[in-house]
Amino acid sequence: MSRHRTSRSQMRRNARRMRRYGVEPMALITEDLEFAPLVIASTARAVWRYRSELAPLTVAASDLVTGMILRRWFSEWWPTVIIATVIVAGAVAIWGRWVNLPRPIERGYATVTTAFAGTWLTLAAYLGPFTAPLPAVLGIGTFVLAVPWWAHRRRRARVRVERTLAAWPDIAQAVGLAGSRVQSAIVDLWGYRFRLGLGLGQTVEDALSAVPRLESALGTTRGGVRVQPVASKKANRADVRVIETDPHADAIAWPGPSITSITQPVKLGLFEDGAPVRVPFLRRHGLFAGMSGAGKSGGVNVLLGDLTACQDVILWAIDLKRGMELLPWSSCIDRLATTPQEAEALLADAVVILDGRADDLTRRGERVWEPSPERPALIIIADEYAELASEAPRAIDYADSIARRGRAPAVNLIAATQRPSKDAMGKSAVRSQMDVRLCFRVREPRDGDLILGQGMVKAGWHPHKLDAPGKFLISAPEHDIPRRARAYLMDDARVQATAERHAEHRPALDAVSLAALDAAASMAERHGDAPVDGERTSPRHARQDAPKRGDSVLWAVLRDAPEKGITVDELKTATGMSRPTIYRRLSQLENDGRVRQVSRGRWRARLDPDPA
Ligand SMILES: Nc1ncnc2c1ncn2[C@@H]1O[C@H](COP(=O)(O)OP(=O)(O)OP(=O)(O)O)[C@@H](O)[C@H]1O
């Protein structure tokens, strides 16, 4: 302070000296006069800018001032202060998640801080804030509690985002969105998003075309900014998502089944903000489409991982790749068609069930079939649906019927295909009836329109820009804006293990559906057009047959094995069984004296069973 006074008087002396020499010290005087407000203004600006970092000091200062007031005028209030402290700290610990403290560690920190500040205040009221050791306790406590605050990742991210968005008017000017305003912003684990109120006459399309400039202005990576229309469809708003850490950078392992009933929404993967893609499949038809290698079968596997966990769903499947894709699930699938003829018979029977259930609903005076383990929903998964259209055109008529009438009786179709053109989908009714559409990467923009619907590419749905397998856009009643998602990934071992575990709890087809099938079969017999053997796999026994089919393949391969025997890996490839199942079967067969280990890890059937 004294130094400051000395320098000021020195400045005045200098000014007098300068005047003596005829020099007007105007600039100096002006600077001196403006110095104080300038310092105050820039200090206030810095305090405001760093308010988050300074928060621990602000809280400590408020605690000190409140302590002084309490001590001076309300010292007898100390019991009330400690009771209020206990109540507030307890409330933060229990209900903290409702005030944006989602993680237990954050709630713990808030509770400890509240308890510390309240206890200090109580002691300050009782003893006086400057009674030793209270000042030291406040100083040390503030520093200790400030460290986690300063280090907290989410807080630092929020502050960084606030500072970036504070410069929005300049950014908006530079990217061609002058007049737009940031209305709200949310920071999450993967980056942040903000709602933009567009300027007069600006459209979401303007914001979309500004994306590359926005990426540059916000300092993100290329492709790090997404612009979407808002869910409420307001034309003068847009949501901007800035991705700092891409949750899709690596494959996301399937976390296990997310549902136990078809009435719950299935979790297929994650959106770019890390939110799960939840989609209900009850009474809905689905389409999984995209170019070869885009991840459709992976997506179908995830769906099956969840559906096989539900005891109120019966699964039938069509796999014209000779069962290559769906065979691993055969122990959970009630009926699997691998030829066009079988597919036609399967879909025909599904229509019979649909009619039977519709009649039953009418008799009961009910509108819809409510799935339960006794009355399960029937879901038909058709892989490579396009091939069905070319190889079994009659099957498409049945599929068409299911697509149009299957919702109420809970008979639904999920089709996977590379390109759902009118030709490939047979009748276009099937495509237009698909309520849930997952569009994986496509080669050209017009394929996006084909899968998602006319005009969707123009509206910002760009599946041709998806850049890794498993990434998709989803269009469903609850997903009507284009958000990139990535499906979970299930490796082969996970598929095998899941299928084996879920196979033990599969439901049986309900009595109404069985009666309808029996009635249709005897009617066909009376008319002499019963299906030839092999055209129809029995709906009731196909699943039970699946392990048996595997066993007979296993036995055939062991029987035909060369002298030196066959390895477990070869058996795995030939049968589609998992390694543990094969070992179990081999040990059973060995105990029965039907196989022997020719050499280490090589097996062969004993064609002359050991009498011992
Ligand atoms: N969700 C995913 N995350 C990461 N990688 C994936 C994902 N889904 C699929 N892949 C990878 O992409 C490859 C191709 O996937 P998939 O067989 O599911 O494609 P597809 O669209 O069914 O192809 P096709 O039509 O030729 O059968 C898989 O072998 C896998 O390595």
In the structure, what pLDDT confidence band is assigned to residue 561 with cuts at 50, 70 and 90? confident
| Fold of the domain spanning 281-478+493-515 | Rossmann fold (3.40.50)
DSSP sequence for 126-170: HH-TTSTTHHHHHHHHHHHHHHHHHH-HHHHHHHHHHHHHHTHHH
In whole angstroms, give the CA distance from residue 63 to residue 75: 15
| Angle (CA) 75 76 79, round 5° | 110
Query: How many Cα atoms within 13 Å fall on the side-chain side of residue 299?
Result: 36
- Answer yes or no: CATH 3.40.718.10 is held by domain 155-243: no
Beta bridge partners of 237: 197
- Say yes or no to pLDDT of 210 above 90: yes
Per-residue pLDDT tens for 282-305?
A: 999 999 999 989 999 999 999 999
User: Ligand 1 atom 9: the closest Cα is on which residue?
Assistant: 295
User: Ligand 1 atom 13: the closest Cα is on which residue?
Assistant: 293
**Any long-range contacts for 228-236 (C-beta under 8 Å, 24+ apart)?**
228/204, 228/460, 228/481, 228/482, 228/483, 229/204, 229/459, 229/460, 229/481, 230/195, 230/481, 231/480, 231/481, 235/203, 235/204, 236/197, 236/198, 236/202
Tokens for 59?
């809280």
Predicted local confidence at residue 3, as pLDDT: 43
In the structure, what pLDDT confidence band is assigned to residue 428 with cuts at 50, 70 and 90? low
- Say yes or no to pLDDT of 198 above 60: yes
Per-residue pLDDT tens for 113-150?
A: 999 999 999 999 999 999 999 999 999 999 999 999 99
Nearest to 436 by CA among 299, 317, 259: 299
Predicted local confidence at residue 599, as pLDDT: 80
If you average pLDDT over every residue of the chain, what do you get? Answer: 85
Contacts of 516 (CB under 8 A, 6+ apart): 352, 353, 355, 356, 357, 359
> What is the number of the ligand 1 atom nearest to the C-alpha of 321?
27
In the structure, what pLDDT confidence band is assigned to residue 319 with cuts at 50, 70 and 90? confident
Helix 296-307 / helix 492-503 crossing angle, nearest 10 deg: 30
- Say yes or no to pLDDT of 25 above 70: no
Per-residue pLDDT tens for 337-377?
A: 888 888 999 999 999 999 999 999 999 999 999 999 999 99
Percent of the chain residues topping a pLDDT of 90 = 46
CATH of domain 544-612: 1.10.10.10
CB-based contact 438:289 (threshold 8 Å) = yes
SS3 assignment, position 423: coil
CB-based contact 71:125 (threshold 8 Å) = yes
| Residue 74 identity | F
CB-based contact 451:289 (threshold 8 Å) = yes
Predicted local confidence at residue 24, as pLDDT: 46
In the numeric block, the tokens 């989602």 are attached to 102
CB-based contact 199:178 (threshold 8 Å) = yes
Nearest to 513 by CA among 350, 403, 365, 400: 350
In the structure, what pLDDT confidence band is assigned to residue 15 with cuts at 50, 70 and 90? low
Predicted local confidence at residue 102, as pLDDT: 77
What was the ipTM of the complex prediction?
Answer: 0.96
Per-residue pLDDT tens for 83-101?
A: 999 999 999 999 988 877 8
Q: Is 201 within any annotated ligand binding site?
A: no
| Angle (CA) 225 229 230, round 5° | 110
Window from 106-110, 155-159, 247-251, 543-547 with minimum mean pLDDT: 543-547
Predicted local confidence at residue 143, as pLDDT: 95
By 3-state DSSP, what share of the chain in percent is helix, strand and coil, each rounded to 5? Answer: 50, 15, 35
- Say yes or no to pLDDT of 322 above 90: no
Rounded to the nearest angstrom, the distance between the alpha carbon of 326 and the centre of ligand 1 is 14
Backbone angles phi, psi at 343, to 5 degrees: -65, -40
End-to-end CA distance of the chain: 108
CB-based contact 382:318 (threshold 8 Å) = yes
> What is the number of the ligand 1 atom nearest to the C-alpha of 384?
25
Ligand 1, pocket-test mutation among 252, 271, 291, 297, most atoms within 8 A of CB:
297
User: Ligand 1 atom 15: the closest Cα is on which residue?
Assistant: 295
Nearest to 594 by CA among 559, 546, 565: 559
- Say yes or no to pLDDT of 1 above 60: no
Element (H, E) at 2: helix 2-20
Rounded to the nearest angstrom, the distance between the alpha carbon of 295 and the centre of ligand 1 is 3
Q: Where are the beta strands (DSSP E) in 256-410?
A: 266-271, 276-279, 286-289, 313-319, 335-337, 377-383
In whole angstroms, give the CA distance from residue 507 to residue 483: 36
> What is the number of the ligand 1 atom nearest to the C-alpha of 488?
1
Per-residue pLDDT tens for 372-388?
A: 999 999 999 998 888 88
Rounded to the nearest angstrom, the distance between the alpha carbon of 252 and the centre of ligand 1 is 13
Nearest to 283 by CA among 435, 104, 149: 435
CB-based contact 459:235 (threshold 8 Å) = no
CB-based contact 354:410 (threshold 8 Å) = no
Q: What is the mean pLDDT of residues 402-413?
A: 94
Predicted local confidence at residue 426, as pLDDT: 60
Helix 51-73 / helix 153-166 crossing angle, nearest 10 deg: 110
Ligand 1, pocket-test mutation among 296, 301, 443, most atoms within 8 A of CB:
296
SS3 assignment, position 602: strand
Tokens for 221?
């990576």
Rounded to the nearest angstrom, the distance between the alpha carbon of 321 and the centre of ligand 1 is 15
In whole angstroms, give the CA distance from residue 415 to residue 560: 38
CB-based contact 129:68 (threshold 8 Å) = yes
Ligand 1, pocket-test mutation among 288, 489, 490, most atoms within 8 A of CB:
489
Q: What is the mean pLDDT of residues 486-501?
A: 92
How far, CA to CA in Å, does 149 sit from each of 53, 91, 143, 191, 340? 8, 20, 10, 20, 65
- Say yes or no to pLDDT of 21 above 90: no
Predicted local confidence at residue 231, as pLDDT: 75
Rounded to the nearest angstrom, the distance between the alpha carbon of 191 and the centre of ligand 1 is 27
Strands laid side by side in the 595-599 sheet? 566-567, 602-605, 595-599
In the structure, what pLDDT confidence band is assigned to residue 548 with cuts at 50, 70 and 90? low
Tokens for 27?
């600039």
- Say yes or no to pLDDT of 182 above 80: yes
Q: How many beta carbons lie within 10 A of that of residue 282, not counting itself?
A: 22
Helix 134-151 / helix 153-166 crossing angle, nearest 10 deg: 70
- Say yes or no to pLDDT of 332 above 60: yes
Rounded to the nearest angstrom, the distance between the alpha carbon of 294 and the centre of ligand 1 is 5
| Residue 431 identity | R
How far, CA to CA in Å, does 309 sit from each of 190, 414, 456? 31, 17, 34
In whole angstroms, give the CA distance from residue 297 to residue 313: 20
Nearest to 379 by CA among 329, 327, 307: 307
Beta bridge partners of 472: 440, 485
Predicted local confidence at residue 6, as pLDDT: 46
pTM for the model? 0.62
Ligand 1 neighbours by CB, cut-off 6 Å: 251, 290, 292-298, 418, 469-470, 486-487, 489
CB-based contact 193:220 (threshold 8 Å) = no
- Say yes or no to pLDDT of 611 above 80: no
Q: What is the mean pLDDT of residues 393-407?
A: 89
In the structure, what pLDDT confidence band is assigned to residue 540 with cuts at 50, 70 and 90? very low
Predicted local confidence at residue 2, as pLDDT: 42
User: Ligand 1 atom 23: the closest Cα is on which residue?
Assistant: 293
> What is the number of the ligand 1 atom nearest to the C-alpha of 301?
18
Classify residue 186 as left (phi > 0), alpha (psi -120 to 50) or beta: beta
